[in-house]
Amino acid sequence: MKRIKMGCTTLSIPAMALGIMRMNQKSVPEAQVAIQAAYDAGINFIDSADIYGGGKSEEIFGQAFSQMQIKREEMFIQSKTGIVPGKRYDFSKEHILHSVDEILERMQLDYLDSLVLHRPDALMDPEEVAEAFDQLQAAGKVRFFGVSNFDTAQFKLLQSCLSQRLMFNQLQFSLKHTGMIDFGMHMNMVDKPSVDRDSQFLDYARLHKVTVQAWSPFQYGMFEGTFIDNDDFPKLNQELQKLADKYEVGKNAIAAAWILRHPANIQMLVGSMNPQHIRDSAKGAKIRLTRQEWYDLYLAAGNYLP
């Protein structure tokens, strides 16, 4: 498994993480199979959130992991908080502290390696968040911190009040969600791809050593479904298959290799609970697409260049 540096640290993490959003749909033995498949492929990074499956995903993970032979210190375990059932966000100190305690209980852990704030809260008080982070770190409950779906200004605002460096920003990125790179190539144009919807965060992350975590790497839309083997995307799947045959892997591996080919050292979140899909996706970390292959996939996905 390809390894990358985490944020501004010298800590090495895998270029892929296992997202457990769908683990609530699995039995404990099935969850163990998925975790083991990821671990055997070099993916020793877990990404969760307190709202996944209404907390059930973390409960299943906790039961599964506690019965496995993998040592806790061999895994990097991350969870997210901030989205509250009832369709609102809450970055209050009280909510963050309470949520972490519940996460640790569900996952049967003494600490999280990382806590990520899950989508921006319009009522965020950066100083209050800072108090929560300081208290969690001092208590040994959280080692590192990050955010999800923050634009550059939101990221800078929160960072300005923290004593810790934010390590991560989770952003949607895939062959069918390319906004972060479209506008740069359409600079000085007036077409739709020239619109900057991500406040140039990818460039900011490279300048300030923030690890971008790409979510939904095989999805189109937000949660519309996968583009892999989808008849609605014939050109893309034809190109994926062409390269899959060349590199003797599956299409998932090629779609993953496309993301990891970007020089920003992006970490990709694999959300599948299918052991075969996990293993195939992991093979993408060993493939370095040529520039032409990368652009051929970009164009086959329906994008165009000025």
Rounded Cα–Cα distance for residues 108 and 63 (Å): 7
CB of 112 closer than 8 Å to CB of 79: yes
Q: Which two tokens stand for residue 198?
A: 């991500």
Closest CA to 103 of 171, 150, 52, 155: 52
Using CA atoms of 50, 143, 257, 33 in order, give the dihedral in degrees to the nearest 10.
-60
The amino acid at 303: N
The phi, psi pair for 79, rounded to 5°, reads: -135, 165
Question: At CA 51, angle to CA 153 and CA 19, rounded to 5?
Answer: 80
The amino acid at 88: R
The DSSP annotation for 188-222 comes to T--SGGG--SSTTHHHHHHHHT-EEEEE-TTEETT
Whether 295 is a known active-site residue: answer no
Tracing tokens 């499956």 back to the chain, one arrives at 53
Q: Could you say which of 39, 52, 204, 220 is catalytic?
A: 52
- List C-alpha distances in Å: 241 to 176, 225, 300: 16, 19, 12
Q: Which two tokens stand for residue 202?
A: 């990818």
Rounded Cα–Cα distance for residues 55 and 50 (Å): 5
Rounded Cα–Cα distance for residues 3 and 17 (Å): 11
Q: Which residues are the active-site residues?
A: 52
